[in-house]
Amino acid sequence: MTAHTEPGPAEGPGAAAARLTGHAAASERPLSAALTEVALADGPSVVVKRSDAPGAVRAEEAGLRWLADSGTVRVPAVRGHDQRWLVTDRVPPGRPSGRAAARFGRELAGLHACGAPAFGAPPPGGTEDAYIGLASLRNVPGDDWPRWYAEHRVLPYLRHAVDDGTVRSAEAVVIERACERLPEIAGPAEPPARLHGDLWHGNVLWGADGHAWLIDPAAHGGHRETDLAMLHLFGCPHLDDVLDGYQQTAPLADGWRERVGVHQLFPLLVHTVLFGRGYAEQAVAAARGALTR
């Protein structure tokens, strides 16, 4: 990684990539409002991400490094970063396949098995105040998963959604009851796993090398079923193959399918806060499902 220099006024992604990598930018191609692909004049193409949220780049860089240090899953190498910009290698795109998905499942099981110091533990060098997408995420350590999950993953977003009027008071009671029952319905106790933390299909890139690559982590110590529940929630190509590969490597505890909705409460409420009422209804339905178990 190249040493940082000071950014210029109104710096763009090409200039940021050049400053942070030491290679001149040859061309730019916008990918989204926050992402730009930059071809370097004498190096590989990179993806440049901008974030103005305090600490967001530091949290993401630490998460990528923590996942890479596991030696299990593939993540793009970080080529440079500062408080606003993150520069990573571009992953040449490929197509998902059952074989790649099964390999990804095995690699994900390996990542989870690397563990974490506690539930809610941030990556080394990361921050307590982090982000999941555009929503704030507090990494507060705990040693009891049901209590930690309720206090630091479900209830903060529920309170936010109630205050905004997105979740009605009667609906909030249903979710609160599900949280109260977590010690009964969470399944056997498991040690903290090393989570990607925001594992929807958009953060899984299928590379031309036949591997799945992970981007945009909200990495922390958590329950391994939470990552898998996120894949279920928003869909993932060849999901059955992913699960087969995972189960062959690290079988899940009995009843895990019935617990998927419990683990989806967190991402559903995050999406409720960010995107509104439709996700609130899904969160309430997941809580009701948990209460019928």
Contact 273, 160 (CB under 8 A): yes
The residues, ordered by sequence, that sit 6+ positions from 75 with a Cβ below 8 Å of its Cβ are 64, 67, 68, 213, 214, 215, 217
Q: Which residues contact 142 (CB under 8 A, 6 or more apart)?
A: 118, 119, 120, 148, 151, 152
Helices 260-275 and 224-234 meet at what angle, rounded to 10?
A: 60
And the tokens for 50? 């901008």
Angle at 75 between CA 71 and CA 81, to 5 degrees: 115
Q: Which of 52, 82, 198, 244 is catalytic?
A: 198
Q: Cα(8)–Cα(18) distance, rounded to whole angstroms?
A: 12
Inter-residue contact 279 to 268 (CB < 8 Å): yes
198 among known catalytic residues: yes
Question: 10 Å Cβ neighbour count for 55?
Answer: 17
Sign of CA dihedral 205, 211, 213, 219: positive
Which among 180, 274, 199, 178 has a CA at the least distance from the CA of 242? Answer: 199
d(CA 195, CA 153): 14
| C-alpha span between 245 and 178 (Å, rounded) | 31
Its sign, for the CA torsion 238, 244, 249, 253, is positive
Catalytic center residues: 198
